[in-house]
Protein backbone atom coordinates (compact mmCIF):
# COMPACT_ATOMS: atom_id res chain seq x y z
CA UNK A 1 0.00 0.00 0.00
CA UNK A 2 1.41 3.39 -0.92
CA UNK A 3 2.13 5.82 1.88
CA UNK A 4 0.29 9.10 2.00
CA UNK A 5 3.60 10.92 1.75
CA UNK A 6 3.55 10.12 -1.95
CA UNK A 7 1.50 13.27 -2.50
CA UNK A 8 4.59 15.32 -1.93
CA UNK A 9 6.80 13.40 -4.31
CA UNK A 10 7.85 15.24 -7.43
CA UNK A 11 7.19 13.78 -10.87
CA UNK A 12 10.03 11.68 -12.19
CA UNK A 13 12.02 13.46 -14.88
CA UNK A 14 10.71 14.73 -18.18
CA UNK A 15 11.21 11.56 -20.17
CA UNK A 16 12.24 7.95 -19.78
CA UNK A 17 14.92 6.13 -21.72
CA UNK A 18 13.98 4.50 -25.02
CA UNK A 19 16.99 2.20 -25.46
CA UNK A 20 18.15 -0.93 -23.75
CA UNK A 21 21.74 0.33 -23.49
CA UNK A 22 23.42 0.84 -20.17
CA UNK A 23 25.36 3.99 -21.01
CA UNK A 24 22.55 6.33 -19.96
CA UNK A 25 21.84 4.46 -16.75
CA UNK A 26 24.86 6.05 -15.10
CA UNK A 27 23.27 9.47 -15.51
CA UNK A 28 20.16 8.72 -13.46
CA UNK A 29 19.92 9.70 -9.85
CA UNK A 30 20.05 7.48 -6.80
CA UNK A 31 21.15 3.88 -6.34
CA UNK A 32 20.43 0.82 -4.25
CA UNK A 33 22.25 -2.40 -3.38
CA UNK A 34 21.73 -5.48 -5.50
CA UNK A 35 20.43 -8.62 -3.87
CA UNK A 36 23.91 -10.12 -3.38
CA UNK A 37 26.32 -7.70 -5.09
CA UNK A 38 28.10 -10.58 -6.85
CA UNK A 39 26.62 -10.51 -10.33
CA UNK A 40 26.07 -13.58 -12.49
CA UNK A 41 26.80 -15.03 -15.92
CA UNK A 42 26.01 -12.89 -18.97
CA UNK A 43 23.91 -15.66 -20.53
CA UNK A 44 21.95 -16.50 -17.36
CA UNK A 45 18.25 -17.30 -17.32
CA UNK A 46 15.88 -14.42 -16.52
CA UNK A 47 12.27 -15.29 -15.73
CA UNK A 48 9.37 -12.98 -16.51
CA UNK A 49 5.98 -13.86 -15.02
CA UNK A 50 3.14 -11.73 -16.35
CA UNK A 51 -0.61 -11.76 -15.67
CA UNK A 52 -3.23 -12.80 -18.20
CA UNK A 53 -3.34 -10.98 -21.52
CA UNK A 54 -6.10 -8.63 -20.42
CA UNK A 55 -4.73 -5.55 -22.18
CA UNK A 56 -2.64 -4.67 -25.20
CA UNK A 57 0.17 -3.50 -22.94
CA UNK A 58 0.63 -6.89 -21.28
CA UNK A 59 0.85 -8.55 -24.69
CA UNK A 60 3.39 -5.98 -25.83
CA UNK A 61 5.40 -6.34 -22.62
CA UNK A 62 5.86 -10.07 -23.16
CA UNK A 63 7.10 -9.54 -26.70
CA UNK A 64 9.47 -6.78 -25.61
CA UNK A 65 10.90 -8.79 -22.72
CA UNK A 66 11.51 -11.76 -25.03
CA UNK A 67 13.37 -9.68 -27.62
CA UNK A 68 15.05 -7.27 -25.17
CA UNK A 69 16.50 -9.92 -22.89
CA UNK A 70 17.68 -11.96 -25.86
CA UNK A 71 19.36 -8.89 -27.37
CA UNK A 72 21.09 -8.28 -24.02
CA UNK A 73 22.48 -11.83 -24.08
CA UNK A 74 20.23 -13.48 -21.50
CA UNK A 75 18.06 -16.56 -21.79
CA UNK A 76 14.45 -15.45 -21.35
CA UNK A 77 11.58 -17.47 -19.87
CA UNK A 78 8.49 -15.29 -20.39
CA UNK A 79 5.21 -16.71 -19.12
CA UNK A 80 1.62 -15.47 -18.90
CA UNK A 81 -0.89 -16.55 -16.29
CA UNK A 82 -4.13 -18.06 -17.55
CA UNK A 83 -7.32 -16.11 -17.97
CA UNK A 84 -8.87 -17.45 -14.76
CA UNK A 85 -9.21 -15.23 -11.70
CA UNK A 86 -6.96 -17.47 -9.60
CA UNK A 87 -3.26 -16.89 -9.09
CA UNK A 88 -2.33 -20.59 -9.24
CA UNK A 89 -0.90 -20.39 -12.77
CA UNK A 90 1.51 -17.63 -11.86
CA UNK A 91 2.53 -19.29 -8.60
CA UNK A 92 3.47 -22.45 -10.51
CA UNK A 93 5.30 -20.48 -13.20
CA UNK A 94 7.44 -18.61 -10.67
CA UNK A 95 8.29 -21.84 -8.85
CA UNK A 96 9.32 -23.37 -12.18
CA UNK A 97 11.58 -20.41 -12.93
CA UNK A 98 13.25 -20.88 -9.55
CA UNK A 99 13.78 -24.58 -10.28
CA UNK A 100 15.31 -23.73 -13.68
CA UNK A 101 17.85 -21.49 -11.94
CA UNK A 102 16.68 -18.03 -12.98
CA UNK A 103 18.99 -15.34 -11.59
CA UNK A 104 16.38 -12.59 -11.83
CA UNK A 105 12.61 -13.02 -11.80
CA UNK A 106 10.49 -10.13 -13.04
CA UNK A 107 6.90 -10.37 -11.82
CA UNK A 108 3.84 -8.50 -13.04
CA UNK A 109 1.61 -9.83 -10.30
CA UNK A 110 -1.73 -11.50 -11.00
CA UNK A 111 -2.60 -11.13 -7.31
CA UNK A 112 -0.12 -8.98 -5.42
CA UNK A 113 -0.99 -10.49 -2.03
CA UNK A 114 -0.60 -14.19 -2.90
CA UNK A 115 2.99 -14.51 -4.10
CA UNK A 116 4.95 -14.35 -0.83
CA UNK A 117 5.74 -18.08 -0.80
CA UNK A 118 7.05 -18.09 -4.36
CA UNK A 119 9.05 -14.89 -3.84
CA UNK A 120 10.61 -16.43 -0.73
CA UNK A 121 11.58 -19.49 -2.79
CA UNK A 122 13.26 -17.23 -5.32
CA UNK A 123 15.22 -15.40 -2.64
CA UNK A 124 16.31 -18.64 -0.98
CA UNK A 125 17.64 -19.79 -4.34
CA UNK A 126 19.66 -16.59 -4.72
CA UNK A 127 17.48 -14.87 -7.32
CA UNK A 128 16.69 -11.16 -7.37
CA UNK A 129 12.97 -10.32 -7.54
CA UNK A 130 11.74 -7.30 -9.47
CA UNK A 131 8.09 -6.29 -9.11
CA UNK A 132 7.05 -4.96 -12.52
CA UNK A 133 4.19 -2.44 -12.80
CA UNK A 134 2.33 -3.94 -9.81
CA UNK A 135 3.83 -3.92 -6.31
CA UNK A 136 4.01 -7.34 -4.62
CA UNK A 137 2.69 -7.00 -1.08
CA UNK A 138 3.29 -8.49 2.37
CA UNK A 139 6.76 -9.87 1.74
CA UNK A 140 10.24 -8.58 2.53
CA UNK A 141 11.69 -10.73 -0.25
CA UNK A 142 10.90 -8.44 -3.17
CA UNK A 143 14.03 -6.45 -4.02
CA UNK A 144 12.89 -3.66 -6.34
CA UNK A 145 9.78 -2.15 -7.86
CA UNK A 146 9.69 -0.57 -11.33
CA UNK A 147 6.60 1.19 -12.64
CA UNK A 148 5.10 4.40 -13.85
CA UNK A 149 4.12 6.77 -11.05
CA UNK A 150 0.67 5.31 -10.51
CA UNK A 151 -0.52 7.78 -7.90
CA UNK A 152 0.17 10.50 -10.43
CA UNK A 153 -1.76 8.44 -13.01
CA UNK A 154 -4.80 8.68 -10.74
CA UNK A 155 -4.34 12.40 -10.19
CA UNK A 156 -4.07 12.96 -13.94
CA UNK A 157 -7.28 10.98 -14.46
CA UNK A 158 -9.12 12.94 -11.80
CA UNK A 159 -7.98 16.26 -13.21
CA UNK A 160 -8.84 15.20 -16.77
CA UNK A 161 -12.36 14.34 -15.62
CA UNK A 162 -12.76 17.81 -14.12
CA UNK A 163 -11.23 19.57 -17.12
CA UNK A 164 -13.38 17.65 -19.58
CA UNK A 165 -16.59 18.42 -17.71
CA UNK A 166 -15.69 22.10 -17.40
CA UNK A 167 -15.10 22.26 -21.14
CA UNK A 168 -18.64 20.98 -21.74
CA UNK A 169 -20.33 22.82 -18.88
CA UNK A 170 -18.24 25.66 -17.42
CA UNK A 171 -19.90 25.66 -14.00
CA UNK A 172 -21.02 22.83 -11.76
CA UNK A 173 -22.35 21.01 -10.05
CA UNK A 174 -21.36 18.06 -12.22
CA UNK A 175 -22.82 14.58 -11.73
CA UNK A 176 -20.37 11.68 -12.02
CA UNK A 177 -19.92 7.97 -11.41
CA UNK A 178 -16.72 6.34 -10.20
CA UNK A 179 -15.12 3.08 -11.32
CA UNK A 180 -12.00 1.43 -9.91
CA UNK A 181 -9.96 -1.58 -10.98
CA UNK A 182 -9.69 -5.15 -9.78
CA UNK A 183 -9.28 -5.51 -6.00
CA UNK A 184 -6.52 -8.11 -6.45
CA UNK A 185 -4.38 -5.56 -8.33
CA UNK A 186 -2.43 -3.40 -5.90
CA UNK A 187 -2.41 -0.56 -8.44
CA UNK A 188 -6.20 -0.23 -8.34
CA UNK A 189 -6.18 1.47 -4.96
CA UNK A 190 -3.23 3.67 -5.94
CA UNK A 191 -5.06 4.88 -9.06
CA UNK A 192 -8.27 5.46 -7.10
CA UNK A 193 -6.51 7.29 -4.26
CA UNK A 194 -4.74 9.53 -6.75
CA UNK A 195 -7.99 10.40 -8.52
CA UNK A 196 -9.81 11.04 -5.25
CA UNK A 197 -7.00 13.33 -4.16
CA UNK A 198 -8.34 15.62 -6.90
CA UNK A 199 -12.04 14.78 -6.77
CA UNK A 200 -12.85 14.46 -3.07
CA UNK A 201 -12.38 18.16 -2.23
CA UNK A 202 -14.82 18.99 -5.04
CA UNK A 203 -17.25 16.33 -3.83
CA UNK A 204 -17.04 17.72 -0.30
CA UNK A 205 -17.80 21.24 -1.63
CA UNK A 206 -20.76 20.00 -3.65
CA UNK A 207 -19.19 20.95 -6.98
CA UNK A 208 -19.19 17.27 -7.95
CA UNK A 209 -22.05 14.94 -7.05
CA UNK A 210 -21.74 11.16 -7.30
CA UNK A 211 -25.24 10.35 -8.51
CA UNK A 212 -25.42 6.83 -7.12
CA UNK A 213 -23.68 7.75 -3.87
CA UNK A 214 -21.17 4.94 -4.50
CA UNK A 215 -17.86 6.54 -3.60
CA UNK A 216 -15.95 3.70 -1.91
CA UNK A 217 -13.39 1.55 -3.68
CA UNK A 218 -15.26 -1.65 -2.78
CA UNK A 219 -18.45 -0.28 -4.32
CA UNK A 220 -16.70 0.80 -7.49
CA UNK A 221 -14.28 -2.12 -8.06
CA UNK A 222 -14.40 -4.24 -11.23
CA UNK A 223 -13.13 -7.75 -10.57
CA UNK A 224 -10.49 -8.89 -13.03
CA UNK A 225 -10.68 -5.61 -14.96
CA UNK A 226 -13.39 -7.31 -17.02
CA UNK A 227 -15.26 -5.17 -19.54
CA UNK A 228 -18.48 -7.17 -19.21
CA UNK A 229 -18.61 -6.53 -15.45
CA UNK A 230 -18.05 -2.81 -15.97
CA UNK A 231 -20.76 -2.68 -18.62
CA UNK A 232 -23.21 -4.49 -16.35
CA UNK A 233 -22.49 -2.07 -13.51
CA UNK A 234 -22.94 0.92 -15.82
CA UNK A 235 -26.20 -0.54 -17.16
CA UNK A 236 -27.44 -0.89 -13.59
CA UNK A 237 -26.40 2.65 -12.64
CA UNK A 238 -28.14 4.14 -15.66
CA UNK A 239 -31.35 2.26 -14.82
CA UNK A 240 -31.33 3.02 -11.10
CA UNK A 241 -30.03 6.58 -11.08
CA UNK A 242 -30.33 8.25 -14.46
CA UNK A 243 -33.95 7.85 -15.46
CA UNK A 244 -36.25 10.77 -16.09
CA UNK A 245 -33.73 12.79 -18.04
CA UNK A 246 -31.17 13.09 -15.25
CA UNK A 247 -27.79 13.93 -16.78
CA UNK A 248 -24.52 12.08 -16.22
CA UNK A 249 -21.64 14.49 -16.83
CA UNK A 250 -18.62 12.27 -16.31
CA UNK A 251 -17.28 8.82 -15.43
CA UNK A 252 -13.95 8.13 -13.76
CA UNK A 253 -12.67 4.99 -15.49
CA UNK A 254 -9.26 3.65 -14.44
CA UNK A 255 -8.36 2.11 -17.82
CA UNK A 256 -9.30 2.02 -21.48
CA UNK A 257 -10.97 -1.39 -21.46
CA UNK A 258 -13.43 -0.26 -18.80
CA UNK A 259 -13.84 3.15 -20.45
CA UNK A 260 -15.03 1.53 -23.67
CA UNK A 261 -17.40 -0.71 -21.70
CA UNK A 262 -18.90 2.37 -20.02
CA UNK A 263 -19.33 4.09 -23.37
CA UNK A 264 -20.99 0.99 -24.86
CA UNK A 265 -23.47 0.99 -22.00
CA UNK A 266 -24.24 4.70 -22.28
CA UNK A 267 -24.70 4.61 -26.04
CA UNK A 268 -26.81 1.45 -25.77
CA UNK A 269 -29.11 3.27 -23.37
CA UNK A 270 -29.42 6.21 -25.76
CA UNK A 271 -27.88 8.61 -23.25
CA UNK A 272 -25.61 11.57 -24.06
CA UNK A 273 -21.93 10.61 -23.97
CA UNK A 274 -20.31 11.82 -20.72
CA UNK A 275 -16.65 12.69 -20.17
CA UNK A 276 -14.88 9.33 -19.65
CA UNK A 277 -11.25 8.87 -18.60
CA UNK A 278 -8.99 5.91 -19.29
CA UNK A 279 -5.45 4.54 -19.24
CA UNK A 280 -3.09 2.44 -21.39
CA UNK A 281 -3.41 4.13 -24.80
CA UNK A 282 -5.11 1.13 -26.37
CA UNK A 283 -5.71 1.42 -30.11
CA UNK A 284 -9.51 1.38 -29.93
CA UNK A 285 -9.51 4.01 -27.20
CA UNK A 286 -7.16 6.29 -29.12
CA UNK A 287 -9.54 5.97 -32.07
CA UNK A 288 -12.43 6.81 -29.73
CA UNK A 289 -10.60 9.87 -28.40
CA UNK A 290 -9.92 11.13 -31.91
CA UNK A 291 -13.62 10.56 -32.73
CA UNK A 292 -14.63 12.73 -29.78
CA UNK A 293 -16.07 9.98 -27.57
CA UNK A 294 -13.64 8.81 -24.85
CA UNK A 295 -12.16 11.98 -23.41
CA UNK A 296 -8.71 10.92 -22.20
CA UNK A 297 -6.24 8.13 -21.68
CA UNK A 298 -2.80 7.83 -20.08
CA UNK A 299 0.34 7.18 -22.08
CA UNK A 300 2.50 4.75 -20.11
CA UNK A 301 4.92 3.67 -22.82
CA UNK A 302 5.52 -0.04 -22.26
CA UNK A 303 8.62 0.15 -24.43
CA UNK A 304 10.24 2.50 -21.93
CA UNK A 305 9.20 0.48 -18.89
CA UNK A 306 10.52 -2.79 -20.30
CA UNK A 307 13.74 -1.08 -21.43
CA UNK A 308 14.34 0.23 -17.92
CA UNK A 309 13.63 -3.18 -16.43
CA UNK A 310 16.18 -4.78 -18.76
CA UNK A 311 18.65 -2.08 -17.71
CA UNK A 312 18.09 -3.16 -14.10
CA UNK A 313 18.77 -6.78 -15.01
CA UNK A 314 21.98 -5.78 -16.81
CA UNK A 315 23.17 -3.86 -13.76
CA UNK A 316 22.45 -6.83 -11.51
CA UNK A 317 24.31 -9.14 -13.88
CA UNK A 318 27.45 -7.03 -13.51
CA UNK A 319 27.07 -6.85 -9.74
CA UNK A 320 26.35 -3.13 -9.93
CA UNK A 321 23.76 -1.12 -8.03
CA UNK A 322 20.55 -0.63 -10.03
CA UNK A 323 19.37 2.93 -10.25
CA UNK A 324 16.30 3.91 -8.22
CA UNK A 325 14.64 7.26 -7.58
CA UNK A 326 12.20 6.53 -4.74
CA UNK A 327 13.13 4.95 -1.42
CA UNK A 328 10.20 6.15 0.70
CA UNK A 329 6.83 5.67 -0.95
CA UNK A 330 6.15 2.01 -1.61
CA UNK A 331 5.53 0.26 1.68
CA UNK A 332 4.25 -3.22 0.77
CA UNK A 333 3.29 -4.12 4.33
CA UNK A 334 6.59 -5.83 5.11
CA UNK A 335 9.18 -3.34 3.84
CA UNK A 336 9.58 -0.14 1.88
CA UNK A 337 10.54 -1.40 -1.57
CA UNK A 338 13.13 0.66 -3.48
CA UNK A 339 11.49 1.88 -6.67
CA UNK A 340 12.24 3.35 -10.05
CA UNK A 341 9.30 5.41 -11.31
CA UNK A 342 8.64 6.73 -14.81
CA UNK A 343 6.39 9.74 -15.54
CA UNK A 344 2.93 9.09 -17.06
CA UNK A 345 1.42 11.48 -19.62
CA UNK A 346 -2.25 12.47 -19.92
CA UNK A 347 -3.54 12.30 -23.50
CA UNK A 348 -6.61 14.02 -24.94
CA UNK A 349 -7.55 14.79 -28.52
CA UNK A 350 -5.69 18.09 -28.21
CA UNK A 351 -2.26 16.59 -27.52
CA UNK A 352 -2.58 13.09 -28.99
CA UNK A 353 -0.44 13.79 -32.06
CA UNK A 354 2.36 15.18 -29.90
CA UNK A 355 2.10 12.42 -27.30
CA UNK A 356 2.26 9.56 -29.81
CA UNK A 357 4.79 11.08 -32.21
CA UNK A 358 7.23 8.31 -33.11
CA UNK A 359 4.92 5.51 -31.99
CA UNK A 360 4.46 3.38 -35.14
CA UNK A 361 1.14 1.99 -33.94
CA UNK A 362 -0.55 5.06 -32.48
CA UNK A 363 0.89 8.02 -34.37
CA UNK A 364 -1.04 7.22 -37.59
CA UNK A 365 -4.32 7.25 -35.65
CA UNK A 366 -3.89 10.89 -34.68
CA UNK A 367 -3.67 12.31 -38.22
Structural domain span for residue 46 = 4-149+301-342
Residue 216 has a pLDDT of 96
Is residue 356 included in any domain, yes or no? no
Whether residues 94 and 190 fall in one domain: no
Is residue 38 included in any domain, yes or no? yes
Is residue 365 included in any domain, yes or no? no
Give the SS3 label for residue 286: helix
Whether residues 239 and 330 fall in one domain: no
- Full pLDDT tens readout for the chain, 367 residues: 344 333 333 333 333 333 333 333 333 333 344 444 689 999 999 999 999 887 888 999 999 999 999 999 999 999 999 876 578 999 999 999 999 999 999 999 999 899 999 999 999 999 999 999 999 999 999 999 999 999 999 999 999 999 999 999 999 999 999 999 999 888 999 999 999 999 999 999 999 999 999 999 999 999 989 999 999 999 999 999 998 889 999 999 999 999 999 999 999 999 999 999 999 999 999 999 999 999 999 999 999 999 999 999 999 999 998 999 999 999 999 999 999 999 999 999 999 999 999 899 999 999 9
Whether residues 178 and 206 fall in one domain: yes
**Is the Cα dihedral 36, 110, 225, 17 positive or negative?**
positive
Per the structure, the count of domains in the chain is 2
- Name the pairing type of β-strands 296-299 and 345-348: antiparallel
Whether residues 270 and 287 fall in one domain: yes
Is residue 172 included in any domain, yes or no? yes
Whether residues 16 and 36 fall in one domain: yes
Domain boundary among 299, 324, 350: 299
Is residue 348 included in any domain, yes or no? no
pTM of the model: 0.80
Is residue 91 included in any domain, yes or no? yes
Residue 314 has a pLDDT of 97
Whether residues 97 and 202 fall in one domain: no
Is residue 367 included in any domain, yes or no? no
Domain boundary among 279, 299, 319: 299
Give the span between the Cα atoms of 54 and 57, in whole angstroms. 8
Domain boundary among 264, 299, 334: 299
Is residue 87 included in any domain, yes or no? yes
The CATH number of the domain where 48 resides is what? Answer: 3.40.50.2300
Q: 298: which residues sit within 8 A by CB, 6+ positions away?
A: 153, 156, 157, 278, 279, 280, 281, 344, 345, 346, 347
Whether residues 175 and 135 fall in one domain: no
Give the span between the Cα atoms of 104 and 316, in whole angstroms. 8
Residue 85 has a pLDDT of 56
Residue 56 has a pLDDT of 83
Whether residues 114 and 160 fall in one domain: no
Give the span between the Cα atoms of 36 and 320, in whole angstroms. 10
Whether residues 141 and 89 fall in one domain: yes
| pLDDT tens sequence across 52-80 | 887 888 999 999 999 999 999 999 999 99
User: Alpha-carbon Rg of the chain, whole angstroms?
Assistant: 21
Whether residues 327 and 189 fall in one domain: no
Give the span between the Cα atoms of 308 and 82, in whole angstroms. 26
Amino acid sequence: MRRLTIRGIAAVGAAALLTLGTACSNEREGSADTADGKGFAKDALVGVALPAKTSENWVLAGDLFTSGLKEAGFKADVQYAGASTTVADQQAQISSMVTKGAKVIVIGATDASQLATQVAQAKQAGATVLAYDRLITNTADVDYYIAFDNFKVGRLQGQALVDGMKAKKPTGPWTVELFSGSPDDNNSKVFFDGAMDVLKPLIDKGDIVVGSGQTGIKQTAIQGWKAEIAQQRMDSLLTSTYGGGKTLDGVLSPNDTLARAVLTSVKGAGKPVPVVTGQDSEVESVKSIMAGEQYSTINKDTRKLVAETVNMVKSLQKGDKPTINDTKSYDNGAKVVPAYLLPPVIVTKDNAAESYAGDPKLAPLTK
